[in-house]
Chains A and B, each alone.
Chain A
Amino acid sequence: MAEYETHEHDVLVIGAGGAGLRAAIESSAQGADTALICKSLLGKAHTVMAEGGIAAALGNVWPEDNWKVHFRDTMRGGKLLNNWRMAQIHAQEAPARVLELEEWGALFDRTKDGLILQRDFGGHRYARLAHVGDRTGLEMIRTLQQHAVHKGITVYMECTLVSLLKDGDRVCGAFGYWRESGKFVLFKAKAVVLATGGIGKAWEFTSNSWEYTGDGVAMALDAGADLIDMECYQFHPTGMVWPHSVRGILVTESVRGDGGVLRNSTGRRFMFDYIPEFFKKETADSEAEADRWYTEKKNNRRPPELLPRDEVARAINAEVKAGRGSPHGGVFLDIATRRDAETIKRRLPSMYHQFKELADVDITTTPMEIGPTAHYMNGGVRVDGEGSATAVPGLFAAGEVAGGLHGANRLGGNSLSDLLVFGRRAGIAAAEYAKSLAGRLSVDDRRVDTLAREALSPFDPGGTENPYTLHHELQKTMQSDVGIIRLQHELERAVHKIGELRARLKRVRVEGHRQFNPGWHLALELRSLLVCAEAVARAAIERKESRGGHARDDFPKPDPTFARVNMVVRKRGEALSVSAEPIPEMPAEMKALLEG
């Protein structure tokens, strides 16, 4: 029999970034006894790294802005693969969620009238992002964290969950371990909200921290939930490329929102060469027009540097491939010649600091070297549009771990608003579900014993594989074969390699003991990460077209037949299956909003 402690709550929220915190706050406000679990200390989740802002059509800077325009921008940015209902709810509710943060103590930068200031970002027609310099995520997570603490929500820190538990068809809790002691812990709960974020650690060059190993995605798959749009992974166009050891660290899109431009090694502002047909009507075709747009939006079109992220990332990739890259394999992001030093330091303080400290570069005088970096899971666990319910009764998902809102490509700023809007909705839905359940939940002891035994297997003396080596090999494979531009045979090679890594992971061996042992933690997290990586590669094989974050060199154009389907990944036994299933049909009145 495995030894473990047990805690019981109505609602268990897994993950304490923006979505998890917002879900827990709401679930608790609904009267449900709510617990929040985080892998790190509270307040360290990746939301803290979000820089640019929260997209919400407050209309403080451009009164012309409203939810309908935000909806349109989100759908077009996602190449219409989005769940339209989620995009509608998101656009409608985001302003209230931002104002609520202000009521809880957040201090956004202000307009001259004392209202919340909004900044320009890629793919957004109007200046729409509520922000605090370039550290909006820090403001958001701290505000939510402090609010949650005052509401008396139980927080379990440095706890990793390895599996959900089920009673019949429905979820009844989760099992995992304390990172500090390595001892097991079981949480019984009537409802579970997954808010575990993404899978960025599958790639070598990534903006994500160690936490983003897809635990929630893998647990959901195991429990019987569906994944969608996994192939549409987002590569952020601007990550640091030098020094090598910091390659991938995010450089905020605000640099471009605030006037920064991209140049190649010849000094050319190359984005004008990469304006796709889909966005021609709304994109400036001369530098003069693009530069006028920052102050006069009515008669000018958006600069091509502010095309959606997928377009910009591919353009940078193409410039580097054509031999017009920067010395360290990126391109130049220039704000130094565009804005004065004081403005740069005020608007982009953390970028200034980051380049000064890590690369010895003064961005007020010198262009930054940047290149694409693995950033965000556009797809994820399939949820219903309203309350974030998955296909598994009692299991909800919100934030990056959930798919649908962003379609094939997420617009910058739409993540923080997603966390708030759907975090809250998942909290309400989970609390209501928990309240509706009568009777007691029962946990299958044999299942728990199996999970405990499997979790300890990396300590078995027979193993030979080093978890750090396996992880590195996976990252190399994903970087080269499941990157920005894909090919059938490379994707197949990746699936094969991942299969091999899964087999080798069974022979993993870690040193030391259970107390705060990162090698052991990685060995367990790799189980999740390998499944997620395989889901991306397999879905990418099936989508034989290019759309949003998914680009195929062998199928370089969008294909109308694929415009109407999501790639759905399921797990039965150990095997993953992929099937193309129709996306929800959009009503005519919503379709009409997409024009113009």
Chain B
Amino acid sequence: MARVAKLRIWRGDASGGQLRDYDVPWEEGMVLLDVLHVLQATQAGDLAVRWNCKAGKCGSCSAEVNGKPRLMCMTRMSSLDTTQPITVAPMKTFPVMRDLVTDVSFNFEMAKRVPAFKPGPKGPDGKYRMMQEDIDRVQEFHKCIECFLCQDVCHVIRDHPENKKVFAGPRFFVRYAALEMHPLDTNDRRMLLKEKMGLGMCNITKCCTEVCPESIKITDNAIIPLKERVVDEFFDPVRWALRKVTGKGDDSK
């Protein structure tokens, strides 16, 4: 049985826009992205929306659905109150390009600033050996699909765009954590995290963890351990003195 959803979609570009109403038929089993595709094919051929895999694996179709950051491909229509209008708006933290498409280049710039993975030497047989239990926690971070919903919801940059200059955001704290906790990595990024990436600005409200479609425990497993590492390094008086004497002091890895 075809039902009709009342969609209220933000249409516009960098110069401004407004919410526009559409009535779109939908069927059982559909997700919100399906309904947008029906809308594109029948009423609004030029509706701009990013999407790729349609299975929650690529992280392209991020938007704010009834005010909540979500992947549209994983938002089942049956999970929404379809007796009421459904508002779909672009991610607020990033500048609008057109309709639901935003300029997420901030994230790609931040990615360039992450110091690269630098592995230590291989074993005597020319192979790396790592135990599964030692990589489990890093594999959790590698699940990130770069949907940038955590960046979108993070109030440090959501409400203060000027902080983007000095704050990497949850997605990149996850990335830093993945590198810092990688059993083979030898780089040390703690000074950078403290001085340039604004790790201290996060006051662990866990909004990022709540919106993560991959259920990565961003705050508990990535950000807090990184904060602890930074604290250990820079606020421990013994290490401070050691650093003064030797010019280094990293024995934590």
Instruction: List residues of chain A with CB under 8 Å of any chain B CB.
Output: 40-46, 48-49, 99, 102-105, 107, 109-110, 113-115, 132-133, 135, 138-139, 142, 146-147, 149-150, 157, 180, 209-211, 242-246, 249-250, 350, 353-354, 357-359, 466-469, 472, 510-513, 515-520
Contact residues in A for B179 (Cβ distance below 8 Å): 105
Q: Is B161 an interface residue (CB 8 A)?
A: no
Contact residues in A for B202 (Cβ distance below 8 Å): none
> Who on chain B is nearest to A512 by CB?
B46
Scan residues 102-129 of chain B and give those whose CB is less than 8 A from a CB of chain A: 104, 108, 111-112, 114, 116-117, 119, 127-129
The answer to whether A518 and B49 touch across the interface, beta carbons within 8 angstroms, is yes
Q: In the complex, A139→B142 CA distance in Å?
A: 7
Q: Is B188 an interface residue (CB 8 A)?
A: no
Contact of A102 among B41, B57, B128 (CB under 8 A): B128
**B89-112 contact mask (Cβ, 8 Å, vs A): 1 or 0:** 000000001110100100010011
Contact residues in B for A517 (Cβ distance below 8 Å): 45-46, 48
Q: In the complex, A520→B45 CA distance in Å?
A: 8
Known: A135-B143, A519-B40. A41 touches B104 (CB 8 A): yes
Q: In the complex, A103→B13 CA distance in Å?
A: 43
The answer to whether B112 and A149 touch across the interface, beta carbons within 8 angstroms, is yes
Q: In the complex, A146→B185 CA distance in Å?
A: 14
| Minimum distance in angstroms from B144 CB to a CB of chain A | 8
Could you show 26 A-B contacts with beta carbons less than 8 Å apart?
A40-B60, A41-B60, A44-B53, A99-B127, A103-B119, A110-B130, A110-B131, A135-B143, A138-B57, A157-B108, A180-B97, A209-B54, A243-B29, A245-B29, A245-B30, A245-B31, A354-B56, A358-B31, A358-B55, A359-B29, A466-B45, A468-B41, A472-B41, A511-B46, A516-B99, A518-B45
Q: In the complex, A331→B150 CA distance in Å?
A: 38
Q: In the complex, A42→B52 CA distance in Å?
A: 12
Q: Is B139 an interface residue (CB 8 A)?
A: yes
Contact residues in A for B101 (Cβ distance below 8 Å): 180, 516
Contact of A48 among B58, B130, B132, B138 (CB under 8 A): B58
Q: In the complex, A113→B144 CA distance in Å?
A: 27
Scan residues 168-189 of chain B and give those whose CB is less than 8 A from a CB of chain A: 179, 182, 184-185
The 3 tightest CB contacts between A and B, nearest first, are: A243-B29, A512-B46, A519-B45
Contact of B127 among A46, A115, A150 (CB under 8 A): A115
| Minimum distance in angstroms from A37 CB to a CB of chain B | 15
The answer to whether B142 and A142 touch across the interface, beta carbons within 8 angstroms, is yes
Contact of B135 among A45, A110, A146 (CB under 8 A): A110
The answer to whether A246 and B29 touch across the interface, beta carbons within 8 angstroms, is yes
Q: Is B27 an interface residue (CB 8 A)?
A: yes
The answer to whether B74 and A358 touch across the interface, beta carbons within 8 angstroms, is yes
Contact residues in B for A48 (Cβ distance below 8 Å): 52-53, 57-58, 145
Q: Is B69 an interface residue (CB 8 A)?
A: no
Q: Is B146 an interface residue (CB 8 A)?
A: yes
Known: A41-B60, A110-B135. A518 touches B47 (CB 8 A): yes
Q: In the complex, A515→B213 CA distance in Å?
A: 29
Q: In the complex, A150→B129 CA distance in Å?
A: 25
Contact residues in B for A139 (Cβ distance below 8 Å): 142
The answer to whether B53 and A132 touch across the interface, beta carbons within 8 angstroms, is no
> Who on chain A is nearest to B185 by CB?
A105
Q: Is B76 an interface residue (CB 8 A)?
A: yes
The answer to whether A43 and B28 touch across the interface, beta carbons within 8 angstroms, is no
Q: In the complex, A249→B29 CA distance in Å?
A: 14
> Who on chain B is nearest to A102 by CB?
B128
The answer to whether A357 and B57 touch across the interface, beta carbons within 8 angstroms, is no
**B57-68 contact mask (Cβ, 8 Å, vs A): 1 or 0:** 111100000000
| Minimum distance in angstroms from A53 CB to a CB of chain B | 15
Contact residues in B for A43 (Cβ distance below 8 Å): 58, 146
Contact of B45 among A250, A357, A512, A516 (CB under 8 A): A512
| Minimum distance in angstroms from A41 CB to a CB of chain B | 7
| Minimum distance in angstroms from A174 CB to a CB of chain B | 22
Q: In the complex, A510→B48 CA distance in Å?
A: 13
Q: In the complex, A476→B117 CA distance in Å?
A: 47
Contact residues in A for B41 (Cβ distance below 8 Å): 466, 468-469, 472
The answer to whether B54 and A107 touch across the interface, beta carbons within 8 angstroms, is no
| Minimum distance in angstroms from B14 CB to a CB of chain A | 10
Contact of A104 among B52, B111, B117, B143 (CB under 8 A): B117
Q: In the complex, A275→B144 CA distance in Å?
A: 40
| Minimum distance in angstroms from A286 CB to a CB of chain B | 34
> Who on chain B is nearest to A249 by CB?
B55
| Minimum distance in angstroms from A101 CB to a CB of chain B | 11
Q: In the complex, A511→B131 CA distance in Å?
A: 56
Contact of A105 among B30, B47, B54, B117 (CB under 8 A): B117
Contact of A357 among B34, B50, B74 (CB under 8 A): B74
Contact residues in B for A472 (Cβ distance below 8 Å): 41
| Minimum distance in angstroms from A204 CB to a CB of chain B | 13
Chain B: number of interface residues, binned into ranges: 35 or more
Contact residues in A for B144 (Cβ distance below 8 Å): 142
Given contacts A48-B57, A49-B53, A520-B46, 19 further A-B contacts (CB under 8 A): A41-B50, A49-B58, A99-B127, A105-B185, A109-B132, A138-B57, A138-B142, A150-B116, A180-B101, A209-B53, A209-B54, A244-B29, A354-B55, A359-B29, A468-B45, A515-B98, A516-B98, A516-B101, A517-B46
The answer to whether B130 and A107 touch across the interface, beta carbons within 8 angstroms, is yes
> Who on chain B is nearest to A110 by CB?
B132
Known: A114-B131, A210-B52. A105 touches B57 (CB 8 A): no
Residue among A180, A359, A467, A510 facing the most chain B CB atoms (10 A cut-off): A180
Contact residues in B for A510 (Cβ distance below 8 Å): 45-46
Contact residues in B for A146 (Cβ distance below 8 Å): 111, 114, 116-117
Q: In the complex, A250→B54 CA distance in Å?
A: 10
| Minimum distance in angstroms from B8 CB to a CB of chain A | 20
Contact of B29 among A115, A242, A466, A516 (CB under 8 A): A242
Q: Is B240 an interface residue (CB 8 A)?
A: no
Q: Is B51 an interface residue (CB 8 A)?
A: yes
Contact residues in A for B13 (Cβ distance below 8 Å): 515
The answer to whether A138 and B145 touch across the interface, beta carbons within 8 angstroms, is yes
> Who on chain A is nearest to B116 by CB?
A150
Q: In the complex, A110→B130 CA distance in Å?
A: 7
The answer to whether A49 and B116 touch across the interface, beta carbons within 8 angstroms, is no
The answer to whether A250 and B49 touch across the interface, beta carbons within 8 angstroms, is no
Contact residues in A for B98 (Cβ distance below 8 Å): 180, 515-516
Q: In the complex, A209→B37 CA distance in Å?
A: 13
Contact of A44 among B28, B52, B132 (CB under 8 A): B52
Known: A105-B117, A109-B132. A516 touches B57 (CB 8 A): no
Q: In the complex, A115→B182 CA distance in Å?
A: 15
Residue among A41, A103, A115, A146 facing the most chain B CB atoms (10 A cut-off): A41
> Who on chain B is nearest to A51 by CB?
B57
| Minimum distance in angstroms from B41 CB to a CB of chain A | 4
The answer to whether B52 and A209 touch across the interface, beta carbons within 8 angstroms, is yes
The answer to whether A353 and B129 touch across the interface, beta carbons within 8 angstroms, is no
The answer to whether A211 and B143 touch across the interface, beta carbons within 8 angstroms, is no
Contact residues in B for A515 (Cβ distance below 8 Å): 13, 48, 97-98
Contact residues in B for A519 (Cβ distance below 8 Å): 40, 45-46
Q: In the complex, A246→B34 CA distance in Å?
A: 9
Q: In the complex, A350→B98 CA distance in Å?
A: 31
Contact residues in B for A468 (Cβ distance below 8 Å): 40-42, 45
Residue among A40, A209, A350 facing the most chain B CB atoms (10 A cut-off): A209
The answer to whether B142 and A132 touch across the interface, beta carbons within 8 angstroms, is yes
| Minimum distance in angstroms from B180 CB to a CB of chain A | 12
Scan residues 14-42 of chain B and give those whose CB is less than 8 A from a CB of chain A: 27-31, 34, 40-42
